[in-house]
Amino acid sequence: ARLRTMLARALARTSRVVPSAMATAVRAASSSAVAAPAAAAAAGAVPSWARNLSGQGAKGKVVLLYSGGLDTSCILLWLLEQGYDVHAYVANLGQEEDFEAAREKATKIGAAGVHIEDLREDFLTNYIYPSIQCNAMYENLYLLGTSIARPCISKRAVEIAKREGCDFVSHGATGKGNDQVRFELSMYALAPHLKMIVPWRDPSFFERFQGRSDLLAYAADNGLPVVQTKAKPYSMDENMFHISYEAGVLEDPANAPSDDMFRLTTNPEDAPDTPEYIAVTFDQGIPVKVENIAEGHERTIDNQLEAFLYLNEVAGRHGVGRVDVVENRFVGMKSRGIYETPAGEVLRTAHIGLEGLTLDREVFKLRDMYSAKFAEYCYNGFWFSPEMDFVLKAVKESQKNVSGRVVVKLFKGRASIHTRESPVSLYDKNIVSMDVAGGYNPADAEGFIRINSLRLKAHAAREKSLGRTL
C-alpha cells in the first residue's frame, strides 16, 4: 500500500506516462483486492495507471460534473491520480451529445460510477418556465440560457453525492468565469457539508496544464479515449434553451461572428420569404400548447417538452433568437457572448403580449421590478437563496390570471405579436373606444389632471424662486 501511494505521488508530479516497466511494478504491488480490475485492464479496458489507482479512494469520493470532452476527461484522470474515487455525472439538458459514448469513455478512464441524468423535464418545468413567467432578461439582452441551467445541474449533483456517499464535488469551470460561482453557491446552499475540488483554481493542475496542447499530450500519454479535433476558435455551451458562444476570436467585440458558427438558427437574410404563425396557449403564465397555424404547416402539440423543442425548430428556421452581448460578469469583468435562444424569444414575446391584456397596471410594475431581480439572482448564482425564493413566489402569484392564446408571427429573424385573446382579459374595448362612451365620462379627466398637476406647479414655483428655469 505504501509503495502504491509513493508511486501515485510520483505520477502526480509528471504529465508523462509511467514507463511500462514501472507500470508492471505498480501492478505487481497491487493487492489481491484489485486483481480483478487489473485483469480487466490487461484486456485494454482502462489506461494502465487508472487500473492501479481506480477504486482505492484514499482521499474519498467525488462527483465530477462530466461532459466527455477533453477538459473533464483529463480532470477525471487527474482526480484518480490524486487518489479519489470518481463518480462521473453527465446532465442531459437537451444538448446534442452522445451520452452512451460519454458513459463508455468515463468507464474506460476509471470512474467508479457514471450517472447519465435526463433533466429535460425538470429543466423546463422548474427553471425555464419560471424565467418565462418573469420575462427574465439580464442587462436587457441575455435570456439566461447558461445561467439558468447551472442550478438544475447542481441540484442533481448534490442528490448523487448524497446517494453515493461523496464528500466532494468537482467541476471544470475556469477561475475567471461565472459558472464556478453558480455551481458552488448552489451546492453550498443545498449541501453545506460538501467540499469543492476545482482543478482550474489549483496551481498543481493549471501550472501543469497550461493549454490545450498540454491536455492533449496528457490524454495521449495515458491512453485516454479522446479524439483530437481541430479546436474551434471559440467555446460553446449548449442546452435545450440556448447555445452560447464566447472566448477565442469572439473576445474582441470588433470581430463579427462567422455565419457557420450558428447551429440553432438560420441567418435571417436566408430565412424563408413567407412568415409562419405560431399560436401559444398559456395557463397561469405557463405555455401549455403550441400550434402552427400557417397554411401547409398545420400542427398542434400539447406535450410541453415536445412543444418547446418544436418551437426551437420552427423559430430557428426563421432566424429568431440571435443576440450579440457585451455583459458584466459577476466576478467583475466584462465579457462578450453570442447567444441563440429561438424558443425562448418566441415564448417571451408571446408572454409579454398576454400580460398586456391580463395584468393589472400596478402588479405589472411590480412584476417588472421582480423580473430584473430574478435575472440578477439567476445570473449571479443565487438561485437557492431566500431572495430568489421570495421573487419566485411573488411572480407566481402575479401569473394567476395570465391565461389565454397569443399568435406570434415569425419572419426574417423577428418574432412579433400577431393577435392575442384571453378569457380573463382586463381590456375593455367599449371603455377605450373613441366611438363609444362605455361608462366613462370625459369631464372627469379635468379634475384628474388638475390634481396631478399640483406637485408640478409647486416644483415650477420653487425653481423660479431660485432663479432656475425648467
Active centre residues (catalytic): 71, 150, 179, 235
104 CA to centre of own chain:
25
Helices of type H across 64-148: 70-82, 99-109, 120-123, 129-134
Whole-number Å distance between alpha carbons of 160 and 166: 8
Q: Hey, how many other C-beta atoms are within 10 angstroms of the C-beta on 454?
A: 9
Q: Based on the number of CB atoms within 10 Å of its own CB, is 200 exposed (0-12), middle (13-18) or buried (19 or more)? A: middle
Q: Which three cell numbers stand for residue 339?
A: 447567444
Whole-number Å distance between alpha carbons of 202 and 207: 8
Whole-number Å distance between alpha carbons of 470 and 450: 20
DSSP string of 134-163, one letter each residue: HT--BTTTB--TTTTHHHHHHHHHHHHHHH
Whole-number Å distance between alpha carbons of 45 and 260: 38
Q: Which three cell numbers stand for residue 225?
A: 479515449
Cα–Cα nearest to 429, from 438, 442, 440: 438
Whole-number Å distance between alpha carbons of 419 and 354: 10
Phi and psi at residue 253, in whole multiples of 5°? Answer: -60, -15
Contacts of 409 (CB under 8 A, 6+ apart): 275, 276, 277, 415, 416, 417, 418
> What are residue 327's DSSP bridge partners?
335
Q: Where are the beta strands (DSSP E) in 186-254?
A: 195-197, 235-238, 243-246
Contacts of 241 (CB under 8 A, 6+ apart): 93, 94, 123, 128, 143, 145, 148, 149, 341, 343, 344
Whole-number Å distance between alpha carbons of 448 and 208: 72
Whole-number Å distance between alpha carbons of 29 and 325: 56
Q: Hey, how many other C-beta atoms are within 10 angstroms of the C-beta on 2?
A: 7
Q: Which three cell numbers stand for residue 335?
A: 465579457
